[in-house]
Each structure stands twice: as C-alpha cells, then as structure tokens.
Structure 1
C-alpha cells in the first residue's frame, strides 16, 4: 500500500505581513477577467443606443401586453435615436458573433500557454483585443460586415483568457486553496458586468455610445501594462516571492521533481476527449452558459423594450443581479474550501451540490421572472436570484477541472470552454429569431423556458456523471525521452 503524504496546506509560515504572490496573481486574474467582461458586454448596452428603434417602438405600441413607459421614450427621440437600422436577427448576429472567434482560440491558447507561458499569451491577447475595442466605433460606421468581422477577431483574442488562468493555477494553487483562488479570478466576470452595464448606460447618455468602447479599451490597455510588470509564470521564476511561499507552493503541488531537459511532453488528447468526467463538466458548463449568455446579451434589451426603463436605468437595473453573483461566487469559493478542509462532505459531493444549486435555482427564477409581467420589482428580484446563483458554478464544475486534471487544467478548461461557449452565438440568435416578428412577453416566456430546460438537463447529467478523482491520464506527464544531440 502506498503511503499518502499530505502537504502542510494550512501550515505555511511567512515572515512579516505582505501580500502573497499567489494572491497577487488572483487579484490580477480578477482584474483581467473584469476587463474581459467589460470588453465583451459593452456592446450589450451600447447596442440599445446604436440601433434605430423607432420602427420597433411603433410595432411595440401595437402589442397589448407591453408594459407602461418608465422613461424608455426618452431614449428614442430624434436627437438620441441610433443610426444603425439593424433588425432583431442582425442584432442577434452582432451580439453573438464574438463567440465565433472565442471558441476557436480556447484550446490553442491553453496549449500555447503550456509552451511559452500564460503571462505572454494572455497579456498579448488582451493588448490586441483592447486595440480592437478602441477602433470598433469606426468599424461600425464603416460597414456592418467590418463591424462583425472585428467582433469575431475580438472574441478570438479573448478566448485564451479563462484557459490560461486555469492553467496558471496548476503551477500556483495549493490544492486546498484551489476553489477560493479560482473563484476570485472568475468573480471578475460578474463584477465586470455589474460595473460596465450601469457605467456604459451613463456614458452613452452623456457622451455617446462611442465613448463606451474608448473607455473599456483604455482600461484593457492599462491592465496589460500591470500584468506584464507584476506576473510571472511559475513560483520559481518570480523575483519577489518569499522563499517560504515558493517552497510551500512547490511542495503542495509537487513541482520539485526535476525533469530531463531532453524530455518531450506529450499531451493525452484522446483521454481528455473520451473522459466521462470531462464530458460531465462540459455539459454543466454548456447549460450554465446558455442561460448566462441569454441574459448577458439580452437583459438590457428586455429592461428597455419590455419593462420600458430608459437606457441609464436599464443598464443599472440589469447590473444588479451581477453584484449578487459576484458576492456568491466569492462566498461559494470560501465556504467550499472550508468544507473540504474540515472534511464535512467529500469533494465530489460539494462539487455536485454547488453545480446543482447553480443550475436548478436559476432555471426556476428565470421562468418566474417572465411570468410576473410588468411588475418590475418582482422581475428584477427574480432575475437577480437567477443570475446570482449561477455564480456558485465557480465552486462546482468550473473548479472541478483542477480536481480531475490539475496539470492539464488549462487545456481541459480550453476544451470545455470551447464546446460550452457555443451558446455564446446560438443563444442570442435564437432570441433574435424568436423576437423577429413580435417583441412580446409571450415570446420572452419561450426564451426563458428554453434556458430553464437547458439548465436542468445540465444539472442532471452532471449529478450522474461528475467526479472529483484525479484521472489516471492526468497524474503525470506522458513523456518521450529524446537522445541528446551533439553538434
């Protein structure tokens, strides 16, 4: 019987009081994902001001079930109405085309990060996507096709963000801190949304929709500068980390084993793609993303066109659910690691509990939000509950990747994120087709029921197939030793 050695997870000793290097990485990861979502979701608010909605409002007035005006008409006067005559299908394409590029770069980005380091891959990608954001207004005025093409390219560069950060934790996160550290950087998504939407609404009202892209693109460039200054690929490469923290991380993860410089690592692609545990994570993430992207892209539109809030109010109210999501993401990570350390339940049990909460509760309250009709208070409350509990997925299937394959966390996440982000372009386009003829509450009910069904299917499959056991193909690198070459 092999002796099990437990690393001193809770016995790290560090002199003085300073911010540990792995927490600096978590904070920069949080800020990075914050910027990713600011650059991703800025269009969800901007499009309300970009599109000429006069025709849509006239059609809406003929619908008997459209809610009373709460200031939306202020947005649609001749001075402020948008200049782009895009129908709902085109709007769905614009909102979803980002993900055509996004899904392409996940796996290549994770693979490249293992070869040249996550610092260069994500930093370079963020720089490029920030520049693209800055020129987006000019592209929109130039042509619809160019605007779509830039959004696709923008998504391509941003697709590396989550896989590279997941891969980074394979070298930086002690096992019993994984959930919290992953939750910190993932929570940047909801925080980015809850800040960007109300701010974008105010910017659009005060400075015009173009300023939204200038502001978010500039913030992305600022983050890139700090990323290259502060972050390093491994504890051994970090010039400012304490020796005690370096030793603690390396021993906890098992990074002290020396490798032959002539050894070539072969990635177990077949095992990854045929793993039932990976399949369960992919399905759960797909379900989560379907509902998330439906609301991420369309909630400001629902607030504006159905509940009839003006643009600034629409952005602010749409952001409220994401404030709660941010809180629950962090709280879920903290509580989950406490539960695991105290062994109150098994790791696989807590992952399944969290994932079920993150899918079943949003399904219920998303449907309820549609059936409260014009009761704006109840609708906002139900949307808030639905979106907030999605944040618990970070402590469930998202972190589960590091349970089953810590050394290949970035690549496995890349595979999962590629497939599970198909809803990024499918969901907005489905909504666009459903709302093409009428923008009514009945049509939105169909939108919410579809999302709820996908949520529940994902929860059931993950409950049946999910695992937290480190997979045999992930326990060590598959190596091929090459003979040394003498010149």
Structure 2
C-alpha cells in the first residue's frame, strides 16, 4: 500500500482503531502507558547503582584519595567519628567511573538492533524478554560484586545491552501510531517514565541501603523489573529502510548532535549526582537519595507540560513545527548549561546547589518535545531506526562521562575539580544546540515517504 505521507498513515490507523466495536481504552493510550512503565523500569535498573555505590565503597580504604580540599562540612544525620559512608569495596574513583559507565557499553550496542527486533517480532515480546532477563541478572549482582569486579562490570554491560531496546522501540511505535498533532504529547508521556523511575528509585534506594543494606537495592529492583506487562493489539509494519539517505541527511545529523550533547550532561548527573551530594555536599546516604531525586520530579513535570503545550502551539498554528522544535531544544540545552555552571560556584550552600542542579535537570526535559520528537517529523516511518542510531551515538557519554569524571577526581575530589566537570558538560550542551538549530527541519524528508511493504494487525486481548 502506497502511503504518501505520515498524516495519511496515522489517519488510517486511527480510523481503524475508532471503528473497532465495543467500549475500550484507545490503543495508542495503552501504548503510551506501556511506554511509560517500560521506561520507569529501565531507569530503575539504570540508576540503582548510582545510590548503591555510595554504600558499597569504603571511602577510607587504600584505594581512596584523601586529598579532598575545599570539601563542605559534614551534614550527615549520624555524624560521628565514623565516616558517613564506609563500605566494603576499595574501588578508586576511576574504577567507580568504569562501573557506573559500563552499562552504556552494552546499551549502545543494541539500539538499532532493538528497533529492528521490535518491528520484526513486536513491541510486547521484545520489551517483555528484555525486562525479564535484565531483572534476573540484577538480582545476581550482589553475589557477583563480592566475587569479581571484572565480572560485575560485565554483568552491568549485559544489562545495558538488554535495556537498549527500550527507547528505540517506543519512538518507533509512535512513528506508526501517533497522530501528527499528538506526537509531542504521546512521546512525552512515554519518555517521562524515565524521570519518574529515577525520582522513585534514588530516594527509595537510599532508604533501602540505610535500613536493609545495599544488596537489597539490587534484589528489589531486579525482582520488580522481571515482572513484565503485555498487550498485543498492535501492528507490525515493515518498510524498506533507506540507510544511505538516513546517514547522509543533514536534519538527521542535527538530531544526532543535539541528542549526544543532551545525554552528556544528563548522564553525568544521572550517574554522578549521588556521588556529588554525598562526597562534596556531604549528606548521609538516605538524604543523598532524596536530594538526588528532586531534580527528576521537576523533569517529569516539565516533560509532560512541554509535550502538551508544544502540541497546543502547533495545533493552533501559533508557530511552525520547526520553530517549536528549535525553541524547545535551545531551552533544553542552554538553560541547563547555565545552571550547571552556576552549581559549581555556589560552594557549600546546599540549598543553592540543589536548586541549580534541579533546574538544570528539569529543563533538559524539553529535549523530548524538541529534538526527540523531531525524529517523528522528518521520518515517521523510520523513527525507531533513526532514534536507534541516534541513541547509539548518544550512549557514548553514558560510559565516557563518568570515566572523565573519575579521571578528573582521582587526585583531588574537590569543588574546583567538579567545576571543571560542569564546564565540560555546559560546553557540549551549547555546541550540540548550535548544530541542531543550523541543520534541523520540520518537514518529512523526501526519502522518508516510502511504501509500506507489509502490515499485519495483531488480534488479541482487548
């Protein structure tokens, strides 16, 4: 069937949905809910180690630097002569950076493959298997941690590989199922599960570590992850992928660059924020988890509001698609850059540090109705594949950023070194935004208007 554009494609699918007899929740809304919980679970496993490592590492061990100049007063609730965090493992900052970042070694390897598998075998099966296996592996991590550091790194990389299917599968599904004027909203609802997953996991993991031990963090998040959800009323759509056109498209290159830049800052904070709060601001682990989670509550709110108001502006014709995409992306990269730099210069003022870091994280949410949703504008039929390629390159900061932080902090874990970390992230934010603004397009690209080779409605439980 020859579909001339994405609007015709989406209209046909929605019309099919509306004509189905009976009283039910629309399939695209269930898909949004599935995407939300998939991202929630994925980020629970992605962030659990960020808190657990604070309790796992022996900060007074032989491998730890003692040259921590300009460090703030101890704010631990149980301040005493004992260090607030005195775990079992003598991992130096470089090893910690490797462990926090190794998830992304596996993650970047499975984005394009994950998008293809989701199109070939269906969203439900691919996501369900990924969730179950990564949960089971996570449950084994405490035993492995006591056995071998190298094996622990390997298992975290495998979990990352399994989780690599999530985002491309969700974005690809919206390329088929989302009406053009609901793209920002539906994508934002799905992706916002990552913010909620982080917001819930960080404080809960801190409380678990303090009351039950860090091992319980992996047991609980792993068991929850292994409980997958299913819904099989979606379509399998196969199209011939124009690989050369995708890889040589300037608008697509702009998406790649802003995605990479946004992820550098986001992953720096996602993996290292609990360490900053615990070692520089010097809160105990439970408080560290709560404070580290606050930015992601704001991020969730900004994601939902940003997606909704973006579609309102587009629907009322107040601004063109490309204008709102560029404005959202600029806000998502420049404002976080400013607040991130400011966070490094507020010193030991904990309130100011949390406020600036929270605002930095919150505004990155506008990347979803910005550069991420732009994938659906330029090539809706190939959105999953394009996002898979983009997320592959944008996952490099996931392992590189924590290791850069670890290298910078090996000799001197101080405010001045963290300022360098924040400046690097801010510079990458700005560079990525400039490239996107110059190259982005709001129109479906000529090479993206292709033929649907096969479409099979899946009939199942409603």
Structure 1 residues 10 and 114, CA, compared in 2 at 3 Å: closer, same or farther?
closer
Instruction: Tell me by how many angstroms 1:233 deviates.
Output: 2.9
Is the 8 Å Cα contact of residues 106 and 415 (structure 1) preserved in structure 2?
yes
Instruction: Tell me by how many angstroms 1:19 deviates.
Output: 2.9
Q: Deviations 1:268-327 (Å, cap 9, x if unpaired)? A: 111111111110001000000000000001000000000011000011001101000000
Secondary structure (helix, strand or coil) at the match of 2:73 reads coil
Instruction: Tell me by how many angstroms 1:232 deviates.
Output: 3.3
Structure 1 residues 80 and 66, CA, compared in 2 at 3 Å: closer, same or farther?
closer
Tell me what 1:437 maps to: 411
Instruction: Tell me by how many angstroms 1:477 deviates.
Output: 3.3
Say which is worse superposed, 163-172 or 42-51, in terms of deviation. 163-172
Q: Which residue of the other structure, out of 26, 33, 40, is the alignment partner of 1:34?
A: 40
Distance 2:297 2:85 in 1: 29
Instruction: Tell me by how many angstroms 1:10 deviates.
Output: 11
Q: Which residue of the other structure, out of 214, 221, 237, is the alignment partner of 1:216?
A: 221
Is the 8 Å Cα contact of residues 93 and 406 (structure 2) preserved in structure 1?
yes
Q: Which residue of the other structure, out of 98, 103, 106, is the alignment partner of 1:98?
A: 103
Say which is worse superposed, 265-274 or 74-83, in terms of deviation. 74-83
Distance 1:143 1:4 in 2: 51
Distance 1:43 1:74 in 2: 24
Secondary structure (helix, strand or coil) at the match of 2:319 reads coil
Instruction: Tell me by how many angstroms 1:77 deviates.
Output: 3.9
| Superposition pairs of residues 228-247 of structure 1, within 5 angstroms | 228=230, 230-234=231-235
Structure 1 residues 80 and 88, CA, compared in 2 at 3 Å: closer, same or farther?
closer
Instruction: Tell me by how many angstroms 1:171 deviates.
Output: 2.6
Distance 2:92 2:6 in 1: 62
Distance 2:406 2:80 in 1: 21
Secondary structure (helix, strand or coil) at the match of 1:371 reads coil
Q: Which residue of the other structure, out of 24, 47, 52, is the alignment partner of 2:53?
A: 47
Structure 1 residues 338 and 148, CA, compared in 2 at 3 Å: closer, same or farther?
same
Tell me what 1:394 maps to: 368
Distance 1:270 1:129 in 2: 33
Aligned length: 447
Q: Deviations 1:365-385 (Å, cap 9, x if unpaired)? A: 000011000000000000010
Structure 1 residues 3 and 172, CA, compared in 2 at 3 Å: closer, same or farther?
closer
Is the 8 Å Cα contact of residues 371 and 445 (structure 1) preserved in structure 2?
yes
Tell me what 2:353 maps to: 379
Structure 1 residues 404 and 392, CA, compared in 2 at 3 Å: closer, same or farther?
same
Say which is worse superposed, 26-35 or 446-455, in terms of deviation. 26-35
For structure 2, list consecutive stretches of 5 or more residues without a partner in the other structure: 455-462
Q: Which residue of the other structure, out of 71, 76, 86, is the alignment partner of 1:71?
A: 76
Q: Deviations 1:180-234 (Å, cap 9, x if unpaired)? A: 1100010011111111000000000000001101111111122x1xx22x34332
Are 1:166 and 2:166 an aligned pair? no
Tell me what 2:435 maps to: 461
Tell me what 1:412 maps to: 386
Structure 1 residues 21 and 5, CA, compared in 2 at 3 Å: closer, same or farther?
closer
Q: Which residue of the other structure, out of 235, 245, 250, is the alignment partner of 1:276?
A: 250
Tell me what 1:207 maps to: 212
Distance 1:393 1:409 in 2: 16
Is the 8 Å Cα contact of residues 53 and 76 (structure 1) preserved in structure 2?
no
State the structure with more CA Rg.
1
Is the 8 Å Cα contact of residues 367 and 445 (structure 1) preserved in structure 2?
yes
For structure 1, list consecutive stretches of 5 or more residues without a partner in the other structure: 238-254, 256-263, 481-487
Distance 1:79 1:88 in 2: 17
Tell me what 1:325 maps to: 299
Q: Which residue of the other structure, out of 157, 160, 170, is the alignment partner of 1:155?
A: 160
Distance 1:413 1:36 in 2: 17
Is the 8 Å Cα contact of residues 9 and 176 (structure 1) preserved in structure 2?
no
Secondary structure (helix, strand or coil) at the match of 2:184 reads helix
Q: Deviations 1:430-482 (Å, cap 9, x if unpaired)? A: 000000001000000000000000000011111100111111121113869xx
TM-score calculated relative to the size of structure 1: 0.87
Instruction: Tell me by how many angstroms 1:71 deviates.
Output: 0.5
Instruction: Tell me by how many angstroms 1:3 deviates.
Output: 12
Is the 8 Å Cα contact of residues 118 and 164 (structure 1) preserved in structure 2?
yes
Is the 8 Å Cα contact of residues 268 and 478 (structure 1) preserved in structure 2?
no
Alpha-carbon RMSD: 2.6
Distance 2:196 2:127 in 1: 20
